[in-house]
Amino acid sequence: MVRCGGQGEVMTSDMWDTLWVDVNLATMVDGGAPYGAVRDGAVGISAGRLVFVGPRDSLPGSPQSLAQDVRSGQGRWVSPGLVDCHTHLVYGGNRAHEFEQRLAGASYEEIARAGGGILSTVMATREATEAQLLDSALTRLDRLLAEGVTTIEIKSGYGLDLQTELKILKVARRLSEERQVSVCTTLLGAHAVPPDFVGHSDDYIDLVCQEMIPAAAKAGLADAVDAFCETIGFTPEQTARVFDAAAAHDLPVKLHAEQLSDQGGAQLAARYGALSADHLEYVSSEGIEAMAQSGTVAVLLPGAFYVLKETQKPPIDAFRRFGVPMAVSTDCNPGSSPVTSLLLMINMACVLFGLTVEEALAGVTRNAARALGLSGSRGTLEVGKVAALAVWNIESPADLAYAVGANPLHEVVYAGKLEG
Ligand code: DI6
Ligand code: FE
């Protein structure tokens, strides 16, 4: 193709690398057709970026004149690569026995208070080598990737000491070298009070603020900071200290908020301009209003709601009314959400929480990217964004929510990691 440069008529004959035709696009761009759909569309890719997204008949020339490699999608649907924006993917051990205990009547909080729960995973994670953690995380990651995930957030939080928290974050970074996936890392040092700090949790928060956050920031191992603000986690005051330390190191924040009770975490997160507040079953209307004002994304985690047999649903109607963007994620973790299917979470967000399919798909694309601060490069099919696409054997986007247990992924087209 011919391109005109800024000064005079600089002609370059740089053809696109790839052009997809015979595809229907779920661009997930907001405000137009449902799903931002384009029937009989085309997608051009050059140097890992999208250079054309639109109807085939608006291509600026014949396909062969535009791209070196012209591919037919044979009528398949193409969406943005999926974004799983809240996971605890890297951990040691297995908690299937706690699942059995809960089935026998023990509550998640009772198990946690008796030293099980998060702390049992902490012990197993401290003992595991980096290689062991990498190996078990890869097994879980591969299941997510097999369903079209191209970007994933991974939290630490099962170390609760400096060395192990950094070990988890290193393994998370390694995963992006081992597979075709972009990894955002989040330091969740304030996930639980470790055994040696029980009764003086403020001292543990000192450690998080004065050692963990600075060390993770210095090593470039954390892209964000998170905390668990809950009666079995940390108070809003402690959470605020963690957020202050994050801000001092220019790290954006996220928060596990209002999962089991209303702590005012959503307001706190909003006050710090948090990228997201996650869970939110017990969020108040003040919390919702504050999130709307700060543009904080509500990350919905139906896997944890389902596994814990919760009955209080997040207030979807109020999020809609206030215009709070909603994302959907697996919360992949060994306790409350041993889930490695983002497609299943789309279904559950619809069936359990009452999202429309379009809202649920926006929740694993556009709004999930926003929850990671990646709106500029991910989450929709738009010119200039990273070329990370999922190609589906489906008749309409609704198939992605409807067919439980099916995996209609045909292939992933992936170019351009966060790092690259
Ligand atoms: N909320 C959750 O759902 C996970 N962490 C958190 O803060 C559960 C973590 C676990 O049970 O291991
Ligand atoms: Fe979580």
In one-letter notation, the amino acid at residue 166 is L
Residues of the chain above pLDDT 90, percent:
92
C-alpha to C-alpha distance for 390 and 378, rounded to whole angstroms: 12
- Start-end of H helices in 296-356: 302-307, 316-322, 342-351
CB-count exposure of residue 177 (10 Å: 0-12, 13-18, 19+) = exposed
Q: Which two tokens stand for residue 216?
A: 């993770």
Has residue 393 got a pLDDT over 70? yes
The answer to whether residues 125 and 159 touch, using CB atoms and an 8 Å cutoff, is: yes
The answer to whether residues 184 and 418 touch, using CB atoms and an 8 Å cutoff, is: yes
Which residues contact ligand 1 via a Cβ below 6 A? 117-118, 121, 191, 228, 256, 259, 304, 331, 333-336
Q: Which one, of 232, 258, 254, lies nearest residue 314 by Cα? A: 258
Confidence of residue 4 (pLDDT cuts 50, 70, 90): very low
Dist. CA 299 → ligand 2 center (Å): 10
CA-nearest residue, atom 7 of ligand 1 = 228
CA-nearest residue, atom 10 of ligand 1 = 335
C-alpha to C-alpha distance for 17 and 253, rounded to whole angstroms: 37
Q: Which helix (H) or strand (E) holds 169?
A: helix 162-178
pLDDT single digits (tens) 333-377: 999 999 999 999 999 999 999 999 999 999 999 999 999 999 999
Q: Which residues contact 20 (CB under 8 A, 6 or more apart)?
A: 42, 43, 44, 45, 71, 72, 73, 78, 389, 413
C-alpha to C-alpha distance for 280 and 266, rounded to whole angstroms: 8
Say whether domain 16-80+379-419 belongs to CATH 3.10.20.30. Answer: no
Angle between helices 130-145 and 162-178 (to 10 degrees): 50
337 CA: nearest ligand 1 atom: 3
C-alpha to C-alpha distance for 150 and 83, rounded to whole angstroms: 6
Q: pLDDT value at position 7? A: 32
Q: Where in the chain is the domain with CATH 2.30.40.10?
A: 16-80+379-419
Q: pLDDT value at position 273? A: 98
pLDDT single digits (tens) 105-125: 998 888 987 878 999 999 999
Q: Which two tokens stand for residue 160?
A: 């609760």
C-alpha to C-alpha distance for 63 and 3, rounded to whole angstroms: 16
- Main-chain dihedrals φ then ψ at residue 128, nearest 5 degrees: -75, 145
C-alpha to C-alpha distance for 14 and 256, rounded to whole angstroms: 47
C-alpha to C-alpha distance for 350 and 170, rounded to whole angstroms: 35
Q: pLDDT value at position 353? A: 98
Our mutation pick for probing the ligand 1 site, out of 88, 108, 111, 154, counting the most ligand atoms within 8 A of Cβ, is: 88
Q: Which residues contact 305 (CB under 8 A, 6 or more apart)?
A: 281, 313, 348, 352, 353
- Main-chain dihedrals φ then ψ at residue 149, nearest 5 degrees: -75, 130
Q: Which one, of 320, 321, 323, 397, lies nearest residue 148 by Cα? A: 397
pLDDT single digits (tens) 221-259: 999 999 999 998 999 999 999 999 999 999 999 999 999
CA-nearest residue, atom 2 of ligand 1 = 336
pTM of the shown model: 0.95
Has residue 162 got a pLDDT over 90? yes
Dist. CA 356 → ligand 2 center (Å): 23
Our mutation pick for probing the ligand 1 site, out of 336, 337, 345, counting the most ligand atoms within 8 A of Cβ, is: 336
Distances (CA, A) of 244 to 123, 186, 263: 29, 16, 18
Dist. CA 334 → ligand 1 center (Å): 8
Q: pLDDT value at position 330? A: 99
The answer to whether residues 26 and 11 touch, using CB atoms and an 8 Å cutoff, is: no
Q: pLDDT value at position 416? A: 55
In residues, how long is the chain?
A: 420
Q: Where in the chain is the domain with CATH 3.20.20.140?
A: 82-371
Q: Which two tokens stand for residue 93?
A: 């051990």
Beta strand 82-84 with 67-80 is unpaired
What is the CATH code of the structural domain delimited by 82-371?
Answer: 3.20.20.140
